Structure 1
Amino acid sequence: MKYKNEAQIKKALGIESWRNLSKDKMIRFAAMMPDMDTEVALKIVEQFPAFKDFAKDAVSAIERAHESTLSANSQSQEHVQRACQEVRDILRCELNKDNLSWEEKKFLIEQIQETARMQFQKDSENKQFLDGMHKKVLIGATAAIALSVAFVGGRVMAESKDDSEDSFDS
């Protein structure tokens, strides 16, 4: 074990007291747990009854960021859709003029088709973006849950170790 006492762990985290443990340092603490003496790790974790709240807050922060991104994305998509529609409306009005040559009509039709292609391309990009966002949210939520499991798992392992030692003492 690399860390044998609380003082070594505090020093490694760069804190003076456990009250100074930020969310970032909480994550570092969780990552350090395999290198800690089990007894020491459990004593420290017991000082954090709010760990469940930390995990919930982390998931909530991920959800808020995701919702904000989705909202901004939706507004951007609506803007692109509206702009393409306005361009097509203008082109359609031009196309309805009686004195157009075949080349002018062909050009206007091609421009209408081009706006449709642009719109489809933006839609495809948006779907890829949303897929990536969903994956990031899933990874973030999984990480928060994994931290919770690490803390709870460490406690259960230590308690079962204590129970095993008690049964040998009898």
Structure 2
Amino acid sequence: MNAVRLDTLPSYVWWRFTRHPRNVALSRRLLREQARTWQAADDETVETAVLLLSELMTNAGKHARVSPGREIHALCIVTDGTLRIEVSDAGDGIPRRCRPSAYDEAGRGLRLVAALADRWGFCPRPHGIGKTVWCELSLRPDIAPTSAVTCVAGTVGPERGGKAGNHTSNASSPPGRSPVP
């Protein structure tokens, strides 16, 4: 497979997940595999990106108080030397950094995102209900070999029996985004 040039058109991967706790781990695995294909970041940056995606997916699954049929969308874009990670859900809650005590078992996710990402934020979804929480990481340009643009889209979710599901690919664009040539 080809690596991503950091000075070319955007390359992205997009997944739709059901709201199932196992899909957090699945999203980590899928991003790790895609990052290997892109070859656009060193191992430390990839693991940081995987942790950031995991935190955003966990928050979307845990805090988006929506009906069980709603999906979580994850979008990872490499463009202009930056990896942007977006996680969208149908919840209307506003992400807030908590101030957990030393004994609290939760509440540190957005603090981790703020500490590890170069930038982060949230916005309403452009063509639907809910919000998108995003973060960005700068990539090292000295490790990116030349290549063409990569485009992967898919649906991921539990199969019958509650197991984390199959990843199906197609060449469609994520909602609200223009197709990548």
TM range (shorter): under 0.3
Q: Which has the higher helix share?
A: 1
Scaled by the length of structure 2, the TM-score of the pair is 0.21
Q: For the pair shown, which has the larger CA radius of gyration, 1 or 2?
A: 1
